[in-house]
Structure 1
């Protein structure tokens, strides 16, 4: 396969990998002059028509995905009996290579990798595509640290066909199967998240939760056995991170994170004190308050009787002492003086909400309410320094010495704007929403960014905004389109000259077959004339072969002298000298001439033009 050129475009350079289903080669796209990866189906799958049909359908669906954390699929094609997928070439290594070399990874590094995989899954799930085979072997890490998930959609083509895998291939996937996949049920978003949980577990511990002698024994363990906590193997795993792992690896998919967004939200606080407290609280046994009672120590009946008598005597003497003290006080002050001590003026509380703190205090003091306390809180709409709430509320009647509580606004909570440039716009909008911010979108064409990717943002990362304020996103619409030219009626050569500088992929279809015709005439085209086309798009030209024209050309000669005879054909295929010889002793010479489509036949005798025939 090395050196072969597929569909006259992809030059195979070297083998870079392979699995049970396909072999991967490094190749050069000669049309766009870029390095790509070409995955070629193994022969045993190429002869299975049902598999090939499913394989192409799923690969084409996956090709619709465009995300920084997904290996882009550029093309799906066939060259005779060779079926292939053209993908983005990622220079780096697989996550499995990294785990084998460096695991157990630091939790922060593992979380960063999982976060990028989750972003890829979110984008795919939004497009109704389930991966079904998340494992470290399908995760690539570029030299700059970017994580990219490969083989989206291809796993479905494999799992829906006959189970004729090699043992290594099946074993390699069953370690990461979700319980529902092990049962043979339909894979869902939650299935991908379970597999991602196994990947995170392996990064943190350098071990897989389950192993066995056969795929069936491993699958049964996914269904029946509890996964040991990762913290048992790696003390650096925090309680918050262990709680995330536990939720990812729930056997009941309804108990897992329901989507990648929920997982991404949890990952933002994996190492926070709140996450640790929540994990600790989840781990404590629940106590039934109805079953928890406090019992007094047992004592003899005699001691109980003596205790009761002592209490009665103490109560009696207390009443006597208090009565005497009250009598003395009344005697000294008199009933009228005592009544005045108990008398406090009652005042209605004014409404000071949404007044400035100074104005509110002044109004309280004006009506005679001198006691007040101040506290603060953030508020989205009430300005800094103004009253948010008061207690008691307005118009309640209170004693003049009652304390009035005022809660003063600290203004809105200011949120750090996250960096979303380079992300898929849907992921960017989700990240902003998770922060409490909104997105405003403007689209523009870009030659450098794929469609749907955020080119720039305003405000930039690190600036502060209040909740619900907008971050303006400029989103790529892909390369600027141009209008499809009309090439119907042109020769193939003329049509290819038209497309030469437009950077499109021209494909040919002949009807009838080309035969020995050196070219053809364009009878139809897709896309149609005047439709929008972008660089890299595929253009189909439908051709009929040139009409073959045969003519008998007679040349009159002088038999007494030697004559130099030359016949030149100029037609749709170009210009060609079809006869160039010297003839003597003849009155005439006849030659059969073949031409293509339309043109002229020029006859020269002794370098002089003696006849010109059109056809």
Structure 2
């Protein structure tokens, strides 16, 4: 089965270690799954190469070599590579699993980032690229999709050096077309990628973070690629208000001529840090008066004044860029012409400027010349009118000054109250920076840069954070804390591991005493008979001595029950050969004793010791084997008188048969001498054998 293109390998155990749990993403060259490392019990991102690429030996070799090189990178902003292997044709990488989202997801949600936040993200990306460039690795595919933002605010770069394929692979073209917005001019022309190529791509990404769009856009990929080759990247300040130093950063990084760019990510990183220090605390340039430009490029309401942890990890309300429309004054009259500054002014629609034209009074004469009062009366009236007008003006001016003073007093009082409320409410409180994955020195320096004090709160073991780096902080990144407050950090001791002791040959109680201070548990898995090891002693252990294991690791042991008891079979009255073979096969040592017996045939067991019960292998069992009756040598009685011959033979244990060959020619024959005997003298025969003696 081709795991790289299947949606249903969930539950499969890859390489006997990685249990696939869910599909995360599918790309042109590989498919990424969330999996669990069953050996270390931790989540991993499993990247499985597509089958057609896995069949290319050259590509696989380069894939493995570059994976090994990336695994050696030591930077908190690099996605760690844990393992690499192959299982049934599936070539895979086991990488660090990041709980979070991609920088592309952040841009989709927020539109763009504020200048300081964009530079902070770029600084993290360049830190990772600088580590790669020092190790001789070129990323070749820097883009927001390859930048991961953890839920804890950490920024990590993935897919170092793994995006290059053979020129014969169709996947290469698709990979190129999928990232044309960030490709360097030399890559677009087919030249070899260098660290300056990564600098170009990172500069394009910084432009996008600042403005919300890439500098080169077009209806087709070909048009975009040609723009990279033929057109300079415009200053981002043409789209949004930015300090000139930020423009200089972007324009240097994205120079079409590679030699005019920063030499590598380390040089770019130094420039970014210098720029951040330069513009720290300086206000942004005023936006143009054009309301449309101001509206389109308005700062997102939640991107200024927050940390990268808050802004990217979601601790502040995330949203799309708010389009600020020009304010229309419904009371304004579009037909009112502007008034000269000397006489007053009328604002444009939506303006808040006052209309403050001077008051003019015109007197009309309703009377005809004939009805006109005398000249003296007119003069008095005019003088009286002028006096009333002057008094009215003085009154109005006094009221205006009193109103102005009162307004200023109320305004100052409101500003003071608001300032005090802000200061005692939230003004003294600031967002804590992220100190995670930093050394103690780096953490204390970053805390000091942000107006806090970092103190060491001890050390704890961690399966995911390298020893010597910050594991956690109190308060956590992005939380609010009084300025100058203390942030307590805890350093990682690395994975908690204990060396397994030698348990074989010890009792279970002794093994438990050794294991307890090492946070291990001993489990008796089995008890077996063993002829060599005493009962109660450990024969085997599931984890080899000297191996390092995690806390609470259970070690299974096999305990000896001693020699196995064997039932003893009685072979008395049975052939000796049968007894010897059966008892030896049962594991006993057989001792054989031979003995004459008048009752038991030769070769048969007369007795056995022990003859019943149970014993153990290598125990001794003695069997007595019959040699048959004891043989006696027949005495020579020839020439002896009959009575004496009988006496000799009977004393020797034989029966006697007297044979007289000529009974008619002799007396009772007792005085005769023995002429012959059967069996002959000297032969061996059992006692009781009849011996014939012959006389005449």
State the TM-score, normalized to the length of structure 1. 0.50
Choose 1 or 2 for highest CA Rg: 2
